[in-house]
Amino acid sequence: MTIDRIEADYLIETSFPPEAAAESMAGEQSSGTFLAIPGETPELKARAAARVERLEVLGDAAAPSLPGSGSPRSASEPRRVTANVTLSWPVSNLGPSLPNLVATVAGNLFELKQFSGLRLLDIRMPAAFADAYQGPQFGIDGTRRLAGVEGAPILGTIIKPSVGFGPEETAALVERLALAGIDFIKDDELQSDGPHCPFDERARAVMAVINDVAQRTGKKAMFAFNLTGNLDQMKHRHDLVQSLGGTCIMAGLNSVGLVGMIELRRHSALPIHAHRNGWGYLSRHPMLGWSYIAWQKIWRLAGADHMHVNGLRNKFAESDDSVIASAQACLTPMFPAKPCIVMPVFSSGQTARQAPDTYRRLRSLDLIYLAGGGIMAHPGGPAGGLASIRESWEAAIANVPLEVYSRDHTALAQALETFPS
Amino acid sequence: MTIDRIEADYLIETSFPPEAAAESMAGEQSSGTFLAIPGETPELKARAAARVERLEVLGDAAAPSLPGSGSPRSASEPRRVTANVTLSWPVSNLGPSLPNLVATVAGNLFELKQFSGLRLLDIRMPAAFADAYQGPQFGIDGTRRLAGVEGAPILGTIIKPSVGFGPEETAALVERLALAGIDFIKDDELQSDGPHCPFDERARAVMAVINDVAQRTGKKAMFAFNLTGNLDQMKHRHDLVQSLGGTCIMAGLNSVGLVGMIELRRHSALPIHAHRNGWGYLSRHPMLGWSYIAWQKIWRLAGADHMHVNGLRNKFAESDDSVIASAQACLTPMFPAKPCIVMPVFSSGQTARQAPDTYRRLRSLDLIYLAGGGIMAHPGGPAGGLASIRESWEAAIANVPLEVYSRDHTALAQALETFPS
């Protein structure tokens, strides 16, 4: 990539000649219009035009993946193909601005009639973007330091039920978990400031027990308080958590949006746990929307410290390959001078069962591993559930099969019985 | 709808028994978890549970629309159906918070394995939401007052090329358009603050000519300056536009996000022209994502004054029926005490051709009608292009066919020749 151009990779499906279709993307997202315009000059267009850098036809597509696409007027037998396309833009079209980058690489083009499929696969930004945004403040090292966990994944859980608990019920559960020695607990993404569980009361009740347990045991659980809300609410809630000795905040990326995240990062003195709920509507059709590889870069540069990536054998529709690719992306540097590495968060239907495969495939311990029912519904209670997951990670690191390791590790043995594969 | 519950309508596709699938949505988005949790009680669950209010099976679906869906374990021959489902939530789960509403009605559920298709069709909010957000500040009446247009659509254009022009080239084109008597001009969504066309310089150059023409002719064009950016940038740019006598600002909704829009509304003293670029990735697959009916309600309550709805016979993949339904939604009250009516913006491949059908189908003149090439590429120049569109709306309102009206209206006649149907 030349130093001053933005690049984006797309998967397209089109019955138009693919070169012409790719040029229509470039035109729509830069100096194009559907008719020649007075005042346009070749110099102007050349200065601002997006370029088709690469085009690779992958193969034939049978039926159109998406409705509404047109056909070229002159071709008697249009052939529909899929292709990989890379476009580039001069950064001088927009400057190093994340909100305007989104409009440029992911704007109107998904609606173009030329395409019966169009998905954004990846984005590469010039270094000017690294200078313009803060990126993660804590990342892996800062999170480990605050959580007091080295040499192992950060093990955690989610407060369930998602909604229904009040502050005292939440705090009572947190106390059990903290006494069990848990590293990390998070609010559910549905729980921010409901009248039955107001944020401020919950934060005070939860931090009272976390601080108390920390004094007694020396282990201070990191609690990610979901402060998703309007900007003033989020700032107030952040300040409250900080004043109470809390060590993490959480926000829903699709709820707050890019400006909300950028502002939260500017204000925050705590790690930002970024929830991706709503990700399905951005990604679930394979010929539409965003790949996680592209999407997570926006939020890492904006300032997320932890990014959700789903989990292996999860309760959702996503494949294990996709989950691992997402987590690897979070651990891959974005810029030489500002790598923006964030902790991938594995979550959704996780128990002691998935640790070995997670480690085998990711080859890293830099992750947050969240189990809800896998900890809470263990026959030994939260302490047993947590122990079972610690033991499963020990087994994974030692490359010992779970069934073998469980012979002299009771909590793990109970987990394998309770949560069949 | 009971007064204290949020409702959302969905289109689903599932091979599970549809009742069970609907219950899984309700569980995932409220008090559910995949295993029973200590501390849960029937009272807690009942207080917070989402309810399936309605379920209507529509018919059979052949192949799954989306990958990754599972099948029920016990059914030997699963039947795949589509259905309409309405869920409701107690507002006390989240309080009247738009960011948390999005997490509740459009969170994790799109990824659930039970579904091979899931689309959010509509949202109904209790009145508490109307009290919590400002809604549009100007809407139809305020926009008409500032634009000086009554009894007709607001006619406008987009500065093209999208990127490439500098401030002086932009201002020169604006002067031609303003002298032609145009009502409205907007920046392209790709043009905010690029180094070749810095926002501040562009605003100063454009407002100088708009103010100058207004002094000479008495007609002051409304220019929607695209201030999309970080929050401090947007506030600065708004203040500059206001200080220069400008009458409109513009932001990309998918670029700034919900918190950005809420903050912009709080700060703004000008109408907010809301661009929807990126809408395709949210909506183009008919069994995934958001319908515009649901989506536009979020942004209207957050404070948009003008909402883009595409246009008839547009250059994109959207059908005319969908465009009209979107525009009608913008003109439909949201709350008795706070209707939040916004001006629908028709745009994309519009010329004099589409005015009669637009009026016939919408039965309203409360709209902004934008033509790019349809004004700029008219043989009579921008003045001729604008005249042709005015004449086409006169014909539409008088219910006279364009071909008839064009006999003694030259600009319209030239448009019909230049832009074949």
Residue B160 has pLDDT above 90, yes or no: no
Return left, alpha or beta for B59; rule: phi > 0 is left, psi -120 to 50 is alpha, else beta. Answer: left
Q: Is A172 on the interface with B (CB under 8 A)?
A: yes
Query: What is the nearest CA distance from A148 to chain B, expressed in angstroms?
Result: 27
Q: Which residue of A has its CA nearest to B42?
A: A164
B360-412 pLDDT per residue, tens: 999 999 999 999 999 999 999 999 999 999 999 999 999 999 999 999 999 99
Q: Kindly state the tokens that stand for A68.
A: 């509404």
Tell me the average pLDDT across A25-31.
89
Q: Which residue of B has its CA nearest to A373?
A: B35
Residue A33 has pLDDT above 80, yes or no: no
- H-type helices in A7-166, by residue range? 18-28, 42-48, 98-105, 127-132, 139-147
Residue B421 has pLDDT above 60, yes or no: yes
The reply to whether residue B169 touches residue A39, judged by beta carbons under 8 angstroms, is: yes
A96-152 pLDDT per residue, tens: 999 999 999 999 999 999 999 999 999 999 999 999 999 999 999 999 999 999 999
Q: Which amino acid is at B171?
A: A
Q: Is B74 on the interface with A (CB under 8 A)?
A: no
Tell me the average pLDDT across B212-226.
98
Do domains A5-132 and A139-418 share one topology? The answer is no
Q: Is B39 on the interface with A (CB under 8 A)?
A: yes
The reply to whether residue B107 touches residue A189, judged by beta carbons under 8 angstroms, is: yes
A211-260 pLDDT per residue, tens: 999 999 999 999 999 999 999 999 999 999 999 999 999 999 999 999 99
pLDDT band at residue A43 under the 50/70/90 scheme:
confident
Strand A222-226 versus strand A184-186 pairing type = parallel
Query: What is the nearest CA distance from A169 to chain B, expressed in angstroms?
Result: 8
Query: What is the nearest CA distance from B145 to chain A, expressed in angstroms?
Result: 30
The reply to whether residue B106 touches residue A35, judged by beta carbons under 8 angstroms, is: no
Q: Kindly state the tokens that stand for A297.
A: 């870069």
Query: What is the nearest CA distance from B317 to chain A, expressed in angstroms?
Result: 4
For A93, the 3-state DSSP assignment is helix
β partners of residue B185: B157, B223
Compare CB distances from A376 to B37, B107, B349 and report the shortest one's residue.
Answer: B37
Compare CB distances from B67 to A37, A286, A315 and report the shortest one's residue.
Answer: A286
CA angle B290, B291, B294 (to 5 degrees): 90
CA angle A361, A367, A370 (to 5 degrees): 100
Q: Please, are residues A189 and A226 in contact by the beta-carbon 8 Å criterion?
A: yes
The reply to whether residue B286 touches residue A95, judged by beta carbons under 8 angstroms, is: no
Compare CB distances from B161 to A31, A111, A377 and report the shortest one's residue.
Answer: A31
Nearest to A299 by CA among A282, A317, A316, A324: A282
B250/B185 Cα distance (integer angstroms): 11
Q: What CATH code is assigned to A139-418?
A: 3.20.20.110
Q: What DSSP string describes B250-284?
A: EEEHHHHHHHHHHHHHHH-SS-EEEE-TTHHHHHS
pLDDT band at residue A164 under the 50/70/90 scheme:
confident
A residues 200-239 closer than 8 Å to B (CB)? 228-231, 233-234
How many residues comprise chain A? 421
The reply to whether residue B259 touches residue A172, judged by beta carbons under 8 angstroms, is: no
A102/A99 Cα distance (integer angstroms): 5
The reply to whether residue B37 touches residue A189, judged by beta carbons under 8 angstroms, is: no
Residue A180 has pLDDT above 80, yes or no: yes
Lay out the sheet containing A5-14: strands in order across.
A51-60, A81-90, A5-14, A117-124, A288-290
How confident is the model at residue B37, as a pLDDT? 63
Compare CB distances from A373 to B35, B233, B374 and report the shortest one's residue.
Answer: B35
A86/B302 Cα distance (integer angstroms): 36
The reply to whether residue A100 touches residue B289, judged by beta carbons under 8 angstroms, is: no
The reply to whether residue A31 touches residue B162, judged by beta carbons under 8 angstroms, is: yes
Compare CB distances from A258 to B120, B256, B275 and report the shortest one's residue.
Answer: B256
Cα four-point dihedral sign B263, B265, B269, B272: positive
Measured between beta carbons, which residues in chain B are less than 8 angstroms from residue A382? 38
How confident is the model at residue A1, as a pLDDT? 45
Looking at the structure, give the CATH architecture of the domain made up of residues A5-132. Answer: 2-Layer Sandwich (3.30)
CA dihedral of residues A355, A357, A361, A363 (deg, nearest 10): 40
How confident is the model at residue B174, as a pLDDT? 97
Query: What is the nearest CA distance from B212 to chain A, expressed in angstroms?
Result: 21
Q: Is B114 on the interface with A (CB under 8 A)?
A: no
Cα four-point dihedral sign B207, B210, B215, B220: negative
Q: Kindly state the tokens that stand for A388.
A: 């079972």
Residue B74 has pLDDT above 60, yes or no: no
Compare CB distances from B40 to A32, A106, A161 and report the shortest one's residue.
Answer: A161
Query: Which of A97, A230, A276, A320 to probe by mutation at the B interface, max B CB count within 10 Å?
Result: A230
What is the DSSP secondary structure assignment for residue B93, as one 8-state letter?
G
Q: Which amino acid is at A244?
A: L
A237-246 pLDDT per residue, tens: 999 999 999 9
pLDDT band at residue B1 under the 50/70/90 scheme:
very low
B397/B404 Cα distance (integer angstroms): 14
Lay out the sheet containing B115-124: strands in order across.
B51-60, B81-90, B5-14, B115-124, B288-290
Residue B3 has pLDDT above 80, yes or no: no
A385/A394 Cα distance (integer angstroms): 14
Q: What is the ipTM of this complex?
A: 0.96
Tell me the average pLDDT across B239-267.
98
Q: At what angle do helices B320-330 and B355-362 cross, to 10 degrees?
A: 60
Measured between beta carbons, which residues in chain A are less than 8 angstroms from residue B165? 39, 44
Compare CB distances from A317 to B33, B111, B252 and report the shortest one's residue.
Answer: B111
Tell me the average pLDDT across B55-77.
84
Compare CB distances from B194 to A94, A111, A252 and report the shortest one's residue.
Answer: A94
CB pairs under 8 A between A and B: 382
β partners of residue B5: B90
Compare CB distances from B44 to A109, A161, A288 and report the shortest one's residue.
Answer: A161
Q: Is the peptide bond before A18 cis (omega within 30 degrees of 0)?
A: no
Q: What DSSP string describes A297-319?
A: HHHHHHT-SEEE---TT-SBS--
Mean pLDDT of all residues in chain B? 94
Tell me the average pLDDT across B295-303.
98
The reply to whether residue B377 touches residue A36, judged by beta carbons under 8 angstroms, is: yes
Q: Is A321 on the interface with B (CB under 8 A)?
A: no
Tell me the average pLDDT across B282-301.
98
Strand B5-14 versus strand B81-90 pairing type = antiparallel
For B2, the 3-state DSSP assignment is coil
Count CA atoms within 13 Å of residue B161 on its CB side: 27
Compare CB distances from A66 to B35, B110, B284 and report the shortest one's residue.
Answer: B284
Q: Please, are residues A307 and A274 in contact by the beta-carbon 8 Å criterion?
A: yes
More confident residue, A74 or A287: A287
A residues 325-354 closer than 8 Å to B (CB)? 349
CA dihedral of residues B259, B261, B265, B270 (deg, nearest 10): 160
Q: Please, are residues A304 and A136 in contact by the beta-carbon 8 Å criterion?
A: yes
pLDDT band at residue B32 under the 50/70/90 scheme:
low
For chain B, which residues make up each domain, given as ranges?
Answer: 5-132, 139-418
* Neighbour count for residue A20 (Cβ, 10 Å): 11
Q: Which amino acid is at A278?
A: G
A residues 231-290 closer than 8 Å to B (CB)? 231, 233-234, 252, 254-263, 275, 277-282, 284-286, 288-290
Q: Is B32 exposed, middle or buried (0-12, 13-18, 19+ CB in 10 A)?
A: buried
The reply to whether residue A95 touches residue B261, judged by beta carbons under 8 angstroms, is: no
Q: How far is CA B273 from CA B193, B227, B329, in A?
A: 17, 10, 17
Of A4-18, A70-84, A294-308, B255-269, which gets the smallest average pLDDT? A70-84
